[in-house]
Every structure is written in structure tokens, then in C-alpha cells.
Structure 1
């Protein structure tokens, strides 16, 4: 049978050797250089990818400065941190493209990255490098008697810097930035890391067994959500759209108020229903839920379909009417009359 004591001794020796190696690496190294080395070593260890990290900077940000720093990033990530404190990371588009290529194609190309909206899958492709670099950075920092990256890990993708701003709950953030050159400069861009500065207080510890819940649950539930009501979708020839003038009126289908849709963002339908008013306020009565399914291949509510080559025999568009000074009131919705199951 294998000697468990010998195995434990080997594990202990391995941990001591790793700690000694980190101290050796950190000797004579600043925290900024440690940040660069963490990403270079992580890429080399994961994919044998040569990464040159340069121009490191370490800046203390307040919340407004932190949002501005993230607004310059194409992909913004939420980091799960200790005690529910979130951190943030940002990547340029070119870096994300290179990380996707090395994991799917096994190489990094010099092609121009595609201009598109990033998805959660794109964000997840950055997780191996980010988590490995954070682990190494924490080790280097510990050797320098600092703990700027301890326990931070990839969490989720954020849609915008504004969304990140709603999650900022520390008074100050320590920011690290560096320029990364992938595969000899085939792709290059900046990476940004924002970590909350710990606030020391004398608050008592939570009782044993107290559950903290999911990371950032309260913060995420408090994010604003924009919902819009779409009355109808109209397809128009491009020639008519080009002739639009202020005051022009578009005709909507009859009964549009009763077949309205509640949407989140440009392409996710939530429910159908009826638009009206109650006590002088706009109101929307739900009829059936759509489960947030994306729309089929239809134009977005605010995007007319462009028909560049409209047939010559097409009927000319109706002459625009003057816009009335006051819009008609919406029909009332008597919610009190709606019984169960209706």
C-alpha cells in the first residue's frame, strides 16, 4: 500500500518549493512588474503562448475614475472576491480575439478582429488566463507582503461600464494596467484590473453558520432593468425612410394597442399584452409570457427594413400628415374587472 505519510511529505515539500520559487521571482520586483509577469507566466503555462507585458501602471481610483477606466475596455468582467467584495477586469477586443484563437485554433493570427457584441461565451474564454494570472499575482504579492489579488476569480460578463458602476461598493480601488503583446506582437492590447482597497473596521464577525448567499446577489438584483413596449413593427422601403421629415406620421395597424409586446433590450420578447392607462398613468396588462425568447429574423423595433431595390410598380408612399399638437389619450385599462385566470 502507498505510504500516506510519504505522500503528505512530498506535498509539503512541493508547497515549500513553490513558495520559495515565488519569493525568488519576486525578489527585487515591484508590484507592477509582478502584474506583468503573472500574465506572461500564465499564458506560457496554459498554452505555451509567448506574451510580452509592458508599460505597467498602478493607480488608486475612486469610483468615478474606476468607471472611466472600464469604459475604455471592450470586454468587462466581474470578479468574485472575498467577503462579497467584487473586483473588475477589462480586455481590449484584440486580446479577446487572440485568446479565443489560441484555444480554438492553437495559434494567434494577425487578422483584424471582428466588430461584434461579445457574449458570455467570449468572456468564459478569458477565464483560464485571468484566473491563472490572478493566482500567480497573489503569490507574487504575498512574497512582497501585499495581498492585492487574493481569492479573486472570474465571475461573469458585464454589459457595460455603467453596469459595473452600479456594483462598485468600495470607496477606493487599486487599478493595474498593462499592454500585452501576444505571439510576438501579432495581437496587442491593454488589460485592466480593478481590486477594492480593504476598509478596516471594528465590526463584529458574523455568527457561525451565517450564510452569505450567492456572491453579489443583492447587488445584481438591484441593477436597473429597462423594459420597452412595442406597439407594432413596420416594414418600409428605404426610399421612403430617406425622405422622413420631422412631423411625419406613420400609420400603425388597427388594434395595435391590444397586441403590444413587452421587450427587454432590442431582441428579447417577454410578454404580449394590451397598452392603456390607469389613473392617468401608462399601463401594460400582460396576456401571455414568452419566456424571454429572442425574436426570429425580424427587424428590431427601431430599425426599418431597408429595401434598396424596390420595384418600380410599388405604390407611392402616402403624403405625410401634420403631427397634431396633442396626442390622443390611451384607452383605460380596468384591471379591477379582470378575474382569476383571465
Structure 2
């Protein structure tokens, strides 16, 4: 006990660690995600304080949030009046104003409005420290209660050294405030993950994402067209066409059907025939289609040789095909 008190007797500036880098990121992410508020944290200063020194830190009329962690350990998060007022304004007004901060003590309503945001900050801090040694003393702390003055802290907190993160915040470019995080130096949280374990987890996440993306894409509907022949005409001739006019298709052949996708990109060739009384296409080759044989089933239309029937399998494409005579007339849909 004497050694522990001596260790915290003097405030000592701690070397920079992962918590100093992760704390501003956690504050900014939580403010963005929960409050749609831009928060910028100034340089974070890390200290090691005794309980007596910690009790001298809270600014006047600050909200002192009690955080409970592993093995019932207690820590504190101190919000200056400027920070508390800005968080309340962001939730009630949708923005931070430049009005003077009211001279009042924090209330139970104030605590209820910032509790979820505080838990999110602590969760994000843990996420940034998964491979850092600082995870041990920052892990597992969540909101449990609040105080409107510092005097009861001397009875509630253990008389032991605390690791402290102290920084200034710029909230919505309208107001500056101070925030202090103090947690027991003897942490009892999770040990940091090894880099290999984290890498494996990231690989698993990427594989799951790729599988989910593939499932969504492969089940999506797309449109294909079967083109008998493309014909180019002068614009004047096209505008002069009338119902009943005949168009010559010298290169059209039922065994040389071109499959096109969205935008007219060619994706394969097929042969026109029948299957079970329905118009069908036998895929001859496909530049962007699966290698398995595929057929397309269409509504029955007369005029085709039964000898051209095919019983295809695999990927089915539904499309509309006119008769051979309809291909030679305008005013029809192909």
C-alpha cells in the first residue's frame, strides 16, 4: 500500500502510447456517428495521478461521469461545462451555438442525454487499441452514474494511481472545452490481440464481404437481347419508314443469333429453335457467360422447324422473339 501511494505521489508525464493516439479518433468518430457533430481534439497529454491530484482536476460546474469496468473498478470522465453544453445543443438544436455557457450544475437529464455517446466513445477507444498495450487499462469501461461535484470522489474511488488523458476539444468550430479521462493504472481488461490474429480476422471479414457481394450480384436480374441482324440506315430513310414497308436482312440466319447485354455489348452467340413447344436459344459460345450450357425459354410462336428443338439446361434467359416474317416489317418489337 505504501509503495502504491508513493508511486502516485507525484504527477508524472507518461510516454506517448496508443491511447494518446486513439482517444482523439474515438471522440471524433462517436461525435460524427451519434451526434453528426464535428469534434477536433487538441494534443492529448497523458499523466499518472494519485487520487488526491485527480480530485483537483475537474473544472468548476463540470459533469463527472463514473465509469465502471472489469472487477468493479471505477474510473471517471470529466466534461467541462463547455463540452457538456455543446453535446446537449447538438442533440436538441442540431448544431453548436456561440451563446455563453449557462452557469448551472449538470442535471440527471444532461447525464441521460450524453450516456450513450460516452459508451460509444469508450467502445471506439477499445477498437483502436486492439493490438496496443493500453487496451489493458482502457478496456470494458462504460457509463454507470454521474456527479455534479468532485467531493464524493474521494470516498468512491480507490486510493491508487490513475492513468489520465487530458485534452482540449473544438466542438463544431464554435466552442472549446476540456475533457479528462482517468482510469485505474492497474488495468484488468483484455490483453492486446496479436497482429497475426488481427490479420486473420481481417482476412475472414474480407472473405465474408466478398461472399455476400457475390451472392447479391449473382441473384440480381439482368436483361439480354437476341439480335438476328443489325441494320444501319440513313436517318432520312428511317424517318420516311411507314407501316408495311419491307427491310431486307441479307445476313440474317437463325443459327447466328447474337446475344447482347445492357448497352449493346456482345456477350455470346446462339442458335434459334424450340424446346417443349417454346421458342428457345441454344448458347453456342458465351464470352461473359458461365461455361455450362444454357438455354432461353420463350412463349410459343409458330413458324419454326421442329428439328431445331433443343433441351438446354443451366442459366435461363427470358426474352421476346418475333417470327421470321416480323423481323422483315417495321412497327414490331424485337
Query: TM-score, length-normalised on structure 1?
Result: 0.48
Query: TM-score, length-normalised on structure 2?
Result: 0.49
**Bigger radius of gyration, 1 or 2?**
2
